[in-house]
Structure 1
Amino acid sequence: MSFDRNIKIAPSILAANFANFGAECEAIEAQGADWVHVDVMDGHFVPNITFGPATCAAIRKHIKGVMDVHLMIAPVDPYIDAFAQAGADVITAHVEAGPHIHRTLQAIRATGAKAGVALNPGTPADAVAELLDLTDLICVMTVNPGFGGQKFIDMSNKIRALRAMIGDRPVHIEIDGGVDVNTAPLVAQSGADVLVAGSAVFRGGSVSAPEGYGENIRNIRAAAAGVYA
């Protein structure tokens, strides 16, 4: 998993057909998805329950590229090894999910996975100021986590602050929540390079008609690239 700052589209399978995950993952990759984003929710840290390590292990064989696992769970540390063993390339934990995020990031990296840290809308950029050298990705939540399909919250100032803090470190800025053709330019211009999109990718397509996925992915990428330098 090499590093670059080109725009990457990471469809969230939270918006896919749950009965057909393997084929959905194959379809979005074939249609141009760069990463596959897996939103793990526990009904405790966030008000919803989605998938666990077994689901990640099951879909791993259907994903050729990066499996990006976003843990919206607390506690995090007891489950890191299980998600790493399930094949996660990136494991992201929330800074708000426990008292020892530094230790959590160390534990993620110890598995060989890339370490991500996520920030809820109410958490300032400087919450990760002392973590940048342990972090491969910062996920900026542009909705309050827990459900797909929510309205985008503008976090442009936070994204710009993080981009300045990162400097020349090889750290991605990922945006999760409400990304579509209208909001992609805003976050890309602010400095993000990984765009998670759920309903904006899966709307209007299906495994039997995946061209809709491809059109949505291309449109989001084009919207972001129009202003991204």
Structure 2
Amino acid sequence: MLIAGKCPPEPDALAAAADRGFEVVELYLEKDHLESVAECVAHVEASDVAAVSVHTPHVSLAEKEYLHRTDQLAVALDAFVVFHSGHLNHVDTPELETLDLTAAYGYENKTGVSVRHLRHMVLKPGHGLALDVAHLFMAEADYLTAIEYLLTEYGDRIGLLHLCDSTPVQDGLAFGAGDIDIGAVCRLVDRHFDGTVVLEVMPDDQRAALETVTEHQAEFELSPTRSVAGN
């Protein structure tokens, strides 16, 4: 499992992510960042972190040029594209699939969307998923079973995970500030997922989140039941 921070493609923010202990990050993009794709690439390449994924700006289908620019950035950095769920709904996937993107990509599950909806609108049609744990927590009371189901049944379609704490009405929280059992989620991810986990907490909380996930990984590696649990 690769653990990533999250920051905009700006020199100071990239340097801060490296100082927090991250080797890779997901790039948080606003439209202004994409006025010069080449400048974004230069900033990342000059930094001490690599971009493993890029998050599309908060744009609608009416602003497709920014989706194409995100794709160009991802190709240049060999990164995965996350379709942001704020303004793009899963019912938009047929039109989004006509964009002819070059980079690998996945649709972030929208806040409160159920596994049933994801299965029929994203996964069964063969699309990729960027699994946001907090968004799924808001939708499913038995969120741990839902996470395990998605990872075991559709793991080959899940490009990365977003992880933060959440209440039923607010996500983006520091670990321990919400109601998610972060330890249980980490154990599930360790057992069933080999990809990238992006810590989607605020910058000041990212170092602590990285330490928490690393501690849980160490506990899992030392567990005598690890080989059994992984089967």
Alignment-derived partner of residue 147 in structure 1: none
Equivalent of 2:80 in 67, 84, 88: 67
Alignment-derived partner of residue 173 in structure 1: 197
Q: TM-score, normalised by structure 2?
A: 0.57
Equivalent of 1:89 in 104, 122, 146: 104
Identity %: 8
Tell me how many residue pairs correspond in the alignment: 176
Q: Is the 8 A contact 1:13 1:38 kept in 2?
A: yes
How far is 1:57 from its partner? 2.4
Counterpart residue type for residue 120 of structure 2: R
Higher-RCO chain (CA-CA 8 Å, sequence separation at least 6): 1
Change (3 A) 1:57 1:37: same
Alignment-derived partner of residue 116 in structure 1: 130
Q: How does 1:49-198 map to 2 (within 5 A)?
A: 53-62=64-73, 63-72=76-85, 73-74=88-89, 75-82=91-98, 85-94=100-109, 96-97=112-113, 99-106=116-123, 110=126, 114-120=128-134, 123=138, 125-126=143-144, 127-133=146-152, 134-135=154-155, 136=158, 137-141=160-164, 153-156=173-176, 157-169=180-192, 170-178=194-202, 180=203, 182-191=204-213
Counterpart residue type for residue 93 of structure 2: D
Counterpart residue type for residue 9 of structure 1: V
Question: After the TM superposition, which parts of structure 1 deviate over 6 Å for at least 4 consecutive aligned residues?
Answer: none
For residues 96-133 of structure 1, the C-alpha deviation after alignment (integer angstroms, 9 at most, x for no partner) is 3465212344257x35xx53222446626424232112
Report the secondary structure of 1:100's partner residue: helix
Question: 2 CA distance for matches of 1:164 and 1:129?
Answer: 10
Normalized per residue, the structure richer in helix is 2
Change (3 A) 1:6 1:106: same
Q: Which moved more, 1:131-140 or 1:20-29?
A: 20-29
Q: TM-score, normalised by structure 1?
A: 0.58
Alignment-derived partner of residue 25 in structure 1: 41
Report the secondary structure of 2:132's partner residue: strand
Structure 1 residue ranges without an equivalent (≥5)? 43-48, 145-150, 193-225
CA RMSD of aligned residues (A): 3.8
Alignment-derived partner of residue 10 in structure 1: 26
Question: 2 CA distance for matches of 1:50 and 1:14?
Answer: 15
